[in-house]
Chains A and B, each alone.
Chain A
Amino acid sequence: MNYISNTSEDVSMMLKDISASRGEGKVSSIDELFSDIPGGLRVSKLGLPEPLCELEVISRIHSEVSKNTNFTTHKNFMGGGIYEHFIPSAIAAITGRTDFYTAYTPYQPEISQGTLTSIFEYQTMICNLTGMEVSNASHYDGATAFAESLIMAFNINSRREFIVMENINPAYMSVIKTYAQAADFKLHIVPFDRTSGKPDWNFIEKNMSDKISAVLVQNPAYFGTVLDFSELAEFTHKNGAVFVVSANPISLGILKPPAAYGADIACGEGQPLGIAPSFGGPNLGFMATTQKHIRKIPGRIVGETVDKNGKRCYVLTLQAREQHIRREKASSNICSNEALCALTATAYLSYVGPYGLKDVASRCSDLAHHLAERIAGVKGFEVKFKDAPFFHEFVVSYPKQITFEKLFAHFHANGILPGVELKGFSGLENSMLVCATEVRTLADIDSYIKCLEELKW
């Protein structure tokens, strides 16, 4: 297949015109236009598969992806940062409009009011969800938004050390470490209590100093646990540091927003807001802050203004923070946003509304608590941090005699994906993270328990 329209007749006419306009002499073939490329650098032919027609492309890719387990073949209880939620049919109908997805970045606002208005709505919804005052137009994903908050905090107070909770998503931790290493930042990782799941307060007190730029927490934490961080936020502010909260946006349908307990930067992974998991991307990083730090937040921002005729309209603004204007002095090198994913989240949040979001969050939480209670009743299985409140995810430890591989295979054979294996947390060996969302039913939970009871060990 190809998408080139020039016919050989077109080509010869075009070459004729090019020849007539050139100071460098005639060209009789397209190849001659490449004469600046030294001969030694020319490749004869790339070693790639032969081209396929559309029928073949679909059939080949379909056969490849059919080797995977997916949500239509199995009942999913996996989360760990990516969640399966019900996506109303209207969402794909909106994001599938070519006027949205084939449009360029809205640098020409007169012909981009669709994208700009939807981003303005997105920013408003992120602010309303998190309680913050300013949202950017979105970031790459939850991990990179969290990691960029370090750079933002550094830009706010010029300090280079950070206090980060150990119980954040390990992928976020890994990305934070990558960014910190590049920027020469130092991290203090706060261990969590293996019984209560709470961060070690003594460690925080001991490491807090006037060198600390920010304190980073995730709420709910990776293990699903929820904590009131008001006291920590207050302590952070007292020491002149910035308090950063990464939150699950669905949980904000029932839980107090990060602003309510003192966040200066609220960020998170927006994938649960109507975005399909697609093996982990594209996702949606959201990032919001207070009015005070409006000029420190990275990434695109849309603002309201008027046109020459006084009509209300929207435009990319505060661009003096950005790389195409400020180059090496920019607040970040970020150049794009996840506009289409932000549109998805905007459409999703508009569809469910405040009560729908509350219903989804409550249902997730109810089902997860019901499941946790049932699992705790199966001999050999334990729900960890059982005194800690949690949202829709919790840690289950299984008998040492079983490997995760064997456990997973048993569930998989029965049409269930049982959870995400925990790796790299000492004291939480033989444990997995189990999640229930509103797409699960009580019958699914019965099947889960049946599977667990049948497991031989």
Chain B
Amino acid sequence: MVEKLEKLIFEYSREGRTSFGLPAVKIENSLTNKNYPEGMLRSDEELPKLPQVTEVELMRHFTNLSRLNYSLEVGFYPLGSCTMKYNPKVNEKVASMPETAGVHPHLPEKYCQGMLEILHNMEKYLAEILGMKRVTMQPLAGAHGELTGIMMIKKYHESRGDKRTKVVVPDSSHGTNPATAAMCGFDLIQIKSDANGCVDLEELKAVMDDKVAAFMLTNPNTLGLFDKNIQKIAEIVHKAGALLYYDGANLNAIMGIARPGDMGFDVTHVNLHKTFSTPHGGGGPGSGPVGVSERMVKFLPSPTIEYDEKNMRYSLNHSHPDSIGKVASFYGNFGIIMRAYAYILSLGAKGLTDCSKHAVLNANYLMGHLKKHYNLKFDHTCMHEFVLSSDNLAKYGVTTIDIAKRLLDLGYHAPTIYFPIIVHEAIMIEPTETECKERLDEFIATMIQIAKEAETTPELLKNAPVNTPVSRLDETRAARTPVLRCAACDGCLVKHPDSAKPARESKRKSMA
């Protein structure tokens, strides 16, 4: 896929170029210029240095940039914990309809009944899938959902006059878990996993006391293993007066099979951009709704969305004296919620359950084949993902990063690597349900080929990638001497050598 690298848009800029225009309007008594305080207006010389390009150059630039990206519609992403499933087109369509995109969030309730209905339905559907009493759609990403959840947990304990200062996480947890706890002022306790990669009940018991606010857990965990002891874990946590938090990153394993609420979780976030097929967008926007059990309902972010059956009216309820408050400007990432809504409507209960079944089938199929060629530390039926190690190839001088980079050469995105940190040289693989058997077979063959290359021609791995737009990057240089914006930006906005005078004047006149 070697594509030519693309210049920066600033490097296409020439003074006077533009395709943009506004209608000609003659406004009597415009006050704009005399309105502002002395020195608050920018002069033309002080205008922000933005590129000046025509539409055709703009389109070519961004089209060429897009071709430097790997994406879901190019090929397979075996990315553990990221659930890179197919993003259905109908989701995009319903989110971009003018009736969806052109709705102002400050509309009085009466005039946005359709939006409130969709948010209310989504809450009902997610509550059912999670086994939770209520769900807030406000959090704007998974980590933001975690933050919302831990804020509610803090408020819960405070409301009981119970000063709790610690949050417990397993050593296999996502980095967002400890970071979230720290943002809410909690001290962090990390406990070791047991020999099977699951929660060590004795370790857990030893740290649980009346200062622990919550235990944050992913189930299945980041090794892709379902923790059979989950009910015992819930009992230990609750007995100490603490709450159990569910990191929903791995929900794709258990939809329609088991529910966090039934397992004893009090608060759970879900990632709509993972489990519910909304696109990752190159890193966002996501959406991280949070479900809560009965006793946590009064702490939910305000407003909540209520339905009055008698009058068939949806409304926003702002009167929650115990609410943690708002966590976002409005009602969540509605455009993303809408995509997930279309997905749930398309699949229904059976379809969602089938997703988890096939996600687990695909993962076990890959694991069964790949464990003959890579180390599998926890050899047990996995859920939707599993973690290999490249330890067995270390003797050839090959590490996990080399395998990941070689995969790029061979047309794949890399798996999640070096995570969870409890597995040395980790390679975390999650195929999702939308990959077919032939794709999986091709991936298996590729991984076997790489394991063989490690032995026979390790330089192929060490030098990889070579078939990509750029080769390995100097990341140290990027961090040591940070260049975070177009350094030559001023220089890029040079006057076109052909025009002594800016071309802009004449162009604007001709448009008027």
Contacts and interface: CB of A to CB of B under 8 A. Distances in A.
Q: Do A and B make up one complex?
A: yes
A18 B101 contact: no
B65 A113 contact: yes
Contact of B22 (A69, A283, A313, A360): A360
Given A104-B77, A282-B140, A357-B48, A88 B5 contact: no
B71 A327 contact: no
Nearest to A325: B175
Given A143-B329, A303-B484, A333-B183, A17 B90 contact: no
A103 B70 contact: yes
Contact of B257 (A1, A37, A336, A367): A37
Interface string B326-350: 1111111111101001101111111
Interface in A101-157: 101-106, 108-115, 117-118, 120-121, 123-125, 127-129, 133-135, 137-138, 140-144, 151
Interface string A47-90: 11111111011101110111111111000101011101010101
Interface string B18-34: 11111101011111100
A169 B25 CA distance: 31
Interface stretch (B103-111, B203-211, B453-461): B103-111
A108 B414 contact: yes
Interface stretch (B236-244, B290-298, B352-360, B392-400): B352-360
A43 B5 CA distance: 51
B179 A330 contact: yes
Given A307-B471, A313-B473, A366 B27 contact: yes
Interface in A335-385: 335-341, 343, 346-347, 349-360, 362-363, 365-367, 369-370, 373
A254 B344 contact: no
A46 B329 CA distance: 32
A171 B8 contact: no
Given A18-B365, A123-B484, A350 B58 contact: yes
B385 interface: no
A255 B484 contact: no
Nearest to A98: B73
Contacts of B258: 37, 41-43
B500 interface: no
A307 B8 contact: no
A13 interface: yes
Contacts of A320: 479
Contacts of A360: 22
Contact of A11 (B9, B37, B361): B361
A97 interface: yes
A277 B106 CA distance: 10
B22 to A, nearest CB: 6
A307 B472 contact: yes
Contacts of A53: 346
B147 to A, nearest CB: 6
A317 interface: yes
B318 to A, nearest CB: 9
Contacts of B87: 101-102
B361 A6 contact: yes
A101 B437 CA distance: 25
Given A4-B434, A335-B143, A412 B111 contact: yes
Contact of B98 (A71, A338, A358): A71
B10 A3 contact: no
B102 A42 contact: no
A108 B9 contact: no
Given A108-B404, A353-B50, A65 B103 contact: yes
Contacts of A90: 55, 58-59
Interface stretch (A179-187, A206-214, A233-241, A447-455): A179-187
Contacts of A255: 36, 40-42
B355 A333 contact: no
A159 to B, nearest CB: 15
A23 to B, nearest CB: 6
A49 B85 contact: no
Nearest to A78: B104
Contact of A367 (B27, B55, B125, B282): B27
Contact of A111 (B70, B345, B350, B371): B70
Contact of A81 (B53, B254, B285, B329): B329
Contact of B144 (A30, A51, A140): A140
Interface string A420-436: 11000000000000000
A309 interface: yes
Interface residues of B, number: 214
B114 A64 contact: yes
Given A57-B345, A121-B10, A280 B354 contact: no
Contact of A339 (B143, B277, B282, B338): B282
Given A68-B111, A137-B283, A281-B336, A129 B326 contact: no
Contacts of A104: 72, 77, 79, 82, 84, 280, 282-283, 413
Contact of B20 (A5, A125, A352): A352
Contacts of A40: 231
B114 A102 contact: no
Interface centre among B144, B225, B284, B332, by most A CB within 10 Å? B284
A182 B20 CA distance: 45
A200 interface: no
Interface string B457-474: 000000001001111111
Interface string B149-184: 011001100000000000000000011101111111
A450 B25 CA distance: 20
B69 A128 contact: no
A355 B286 CA distance: 33
Contacts of B175: 322-327, 330, 335
B435 to A, nearest CB: 7
Given A182-B185, A327-B175, A102 B71 contact: yes
Contacts of A151: 183
Given A65-B99, A256-B42, A353 B346 contact: no
Contact of B478 (A317, A328, A329): A317
A328 B335 contact: no
Given A114-B69, A141-B328, A330-B179, A281 B112 contact: no
B117 interface: yes
A280 B5 contact: no
Interface string B30-68: 111001111111101011111111010011011101111
Contact of A278 (B103, B114, B184, B404): B103
Contact of B143 (A37, A334, A353): A334
Contact of A143 (B326, B334, B504): B326
A441 interface: yes
B68 A347 contact: no
Contact of A333 (B47, B176, B230): B176
26 contacts: A2-B346, A17-B369, A41-B231, A48-B344, A61-B341, A61-B342, A88-B55, A103-B69, A103-B281, A104-B282, A111-B70, A138-B284, A178-B325, A178-B326, A228-B39, A278-B100, A279-B334, A282-B140, A308-B474, A315-B475, A332-B179, A334-B143, A336-B284, A341-B285, A353-B20, A356-B18
Lowest 7 A-B CB distances belong to which pairs?
A: A280-B330, A280-B105, A51-B348, A21-B368, A340-B281, A5-B436, A67-B114
Given A228-B38, A341-B285, 11 more contacts: A33-B381, A34-B257, A68-B114, A71-B98, A84-B102, A103-B282, A281-B332, A282-B334, A294-B484, A355-B52, A389-B40
